[in-house]
A and B are shown apart, each in its own frame.
Chain A
Amino acid sequence: MSGDRKKEMMILFLVGAGLAVLPLLVGEFYLYVIRLIIIYAISALGLNIFMGFTGQINIGSAGFFCIGAYLSTMLQVKLGWHYMVAFPISIIASLFVAWGMSFPLLRLRGHAMAIGTLSFAMAINLISERFPSLTGGADGIVVPSMGLFGQTMGNNFYYYLILAIGMVTYLICLFLVDSRIGRAFRAIKDDEAAAAAMGVHVEHYKTLAWVINGVFAGMAGSLYAQQAGFLSPTTFSLWTNIIVLVMIVVGGLGTNFGSVMGSAIMTSLPYFLVTIQQFILLVQGLVLFFFLRFLPDGVVGTVAKHYGRPALKRGG
């Protein structure tokens, strides 16, 4: 077991090192796509903890995207704070909002939970649109670029920031799922009554999974806004909710590596299909249909099953 973990850490380190030298080798366009992949992967990893491992439903990721993005932006615009201060504060805010929303939302189950989380995202989205003096309203808001030591930070800085946070996020998920907490999550997914009979405080761990989901999504939202430089209510729409969900299904529910793979596939797909741009939604729909119908375990889940490696399925 620890041998597996060592191997996973090695692979992770190599991938990280590879991504770190990439700015020397490829152009800005590829780096832009990789930034987006990592940002969505962070969010997908969080959603995967809540849905893939704990077996709950959340179609409201965009709500936390909005909170993270708008809060860190508004703190910079309205109060003139530095992003390195605004960013952690937006993360903490996501944590508290997730914790507060856990009381009404985690009492729900199945369809009701799906609708509840979706309504939460819609409400946050509406709030960001209806207070123009604060949020810029429907016209959107320009995100100030970040300065450090008297210099304005460019895309490469954001690339490394996003990469570092992505690595930390993945490492957290890796350690978490193969631990006492991860076992509690998976026990709740399989059978809540039996989990309680093993001494697992079911509500406590559902809340923890939900807060992790919210914090990761908030983090992703804030990073997205900062590197994009512009933010409007349409940045995180219903589509954001769905696409993160599609990512973890395509990659494989309940696998960390699958969340990253799903993000890579679904984020880069539109860029492969530039020539048939008007059919992108259709193609993405077909991809989802294909996976649900023929590969319900996702890319990583299917490979893991084929080679009979449950450890691969969990971690990386």
Chain B
Amino acid sequence: MGDELLTLKGISKDFGGLRAVNKVDMTVEKGTITSLIGPNGSGKSTIINIITGVYGATEGSVFFEGKCINGLPTHEIVEMGIARTFQLTKLFKGMTVLENVMVGGHSWAKAGNFLPIVLNRASVRHEEAEIHEYATEMLKIAGIEDKVHEMAGNLPHGQQRLLELARSMATKPRLLLLDEPAAGLNPHEEDMLREALRSILRTGITILLVEHHMRLVMNVSDWVHVIDVGNKIAEGTPKEIGKNRAVVKAYLGKEF
């Protein structure tokens, strides 16, 4: 086994009397695409929300690069190197495609504080150029660099998903959490997404993929975790998971 980038230890989450996630242990190895699958309502998005600090865990702890990140606010977790996309796209619809991605520069571009900005300091202008360049590069990886000046809300659904991917990449993460990125994509866009995932992996970013789309999961994953009704029921390589009895019964319906 390689390095553990992200480790969940005994994570539980209660919403009132309902236990959405129950004592889940999970690790994500550096440099892999790890998938988290399970039926609707099994707690996958809740786990993403716990990792990114949107919810506090009821019990258990989350370690990122060996540091405990429980209870930290979302923006600090982003600064540490965890980025995410949303199950339902949450773009900044009043901004252009390029500006959307440039927001991602917020966490690492630190010269842009109030005084330097209003004094129009050179450091700020250089940093703006740097953010601009990096954002353009991310749009290229996502394959939508020809849309830079369009308003984000005017893009077709598939390209909005790719834009969200580019935007999260612009935070320079080491771990990328993708919440159902293939939802609603047509076969062509799905190919673009798969291409994008591969090039993201090549840049040294680890991916945790939450997905329903089994063809994509089986195709790109190095390791798969399966949860059902908040409990982890299996983990293994895509091949092992596709033949796992419990997984087939709970989720897949047939062997993959």
> Residues on A close to B: CB < 8 A?
1-2, 171-172, 175-176, 179-181, 183-184, 186-187, 189-191, 193-202, 208, 254, 310
Contact = CB atoms under 8 A, between A and B. Distances in A.
B128 interface: yes
A176 B75 contact: no
Contact of A199 (B54, B75, B125): B75
A255 to B, nearest CB: 12
Contact of A197 (B84, B113, B114, B128): B84
Contacts of A189: 94
Nearest to A184: B106
Nearest to B83: A197
Contacts of A193: 54, 86, 90
A-B pairs with lowest CB-CB distance, top 10? A199-B107, A180-B112, A199-B78, A194-B90, A190-B92, A196-B74, A179-B117, A172-B118, A201-B75, A191-B90
B79 interface: yes
Nearest to A188: B92
A199 B106 contact: yes
A208 B113 CA distance: 11
Given A193-B86, A194-B86, 10 more contacts: A179-B128, A180-B106, A180-B109, A181-B112, A183-B99, A183-B106, A187-B92, A190-B91, A197-B78, A197-B90
A202 B74 CA distance: 10
B216 interface: no
Q: Is the interface of A mostly helix, strand, loop or mixed?
A: helix
Contacts of B104: 198-199
B45 to A, nearest CB: 12
A194 B52 CA distance: 12
A172 to B, nearest CB: 5
A179 B118 CA distance: 9
Interface residues of B, number: 44
A310 B107 contact: no
Contacts of A200: 75, 103, 106
Given A171-B118, A179-B117, A198-B104, A190 B93 contact: yes
Given A180-B105, A180-B109, A198-B78, A190 B95 contact: yes
A2 B52 CA distance: 35
Contacts of A175: 117-118, 120
Interface of B: 52, 54, 73-75, 78-79, 83-84, 86, 90-96, 99, 102-109, 112-114, 117-118, 120, 124-125, 127-128, 131-132, 149, 151, 167-168, 170-171
Contacts of A202: 75
Contacts of B54: 193, 196
B47 to A, nearest CB: 15
Contact of A194 (B79, B91, B96, B105): B91
Contacts of A197: 52, 74, 78, 83-84, 86, 90, 168
Contacts of A1: 128, 132
Contacts of B83: 197
B256 to A, nearest CB: 31
A186 B94 contact: yes
Nearest to A168: B118
Contacts of B124: 179-180
Nearest to B100: A187
A299 B83 CA distance: 39
A187 B100 CA distance: 8
A77 to B, nearest CB: 33
Contacts of A181: 112-114, 117
B94 A190 contact: yes
A209 to B, nearest CB: 11
A262 B107 CA distance: 35
A175 B128 CA distance: 12
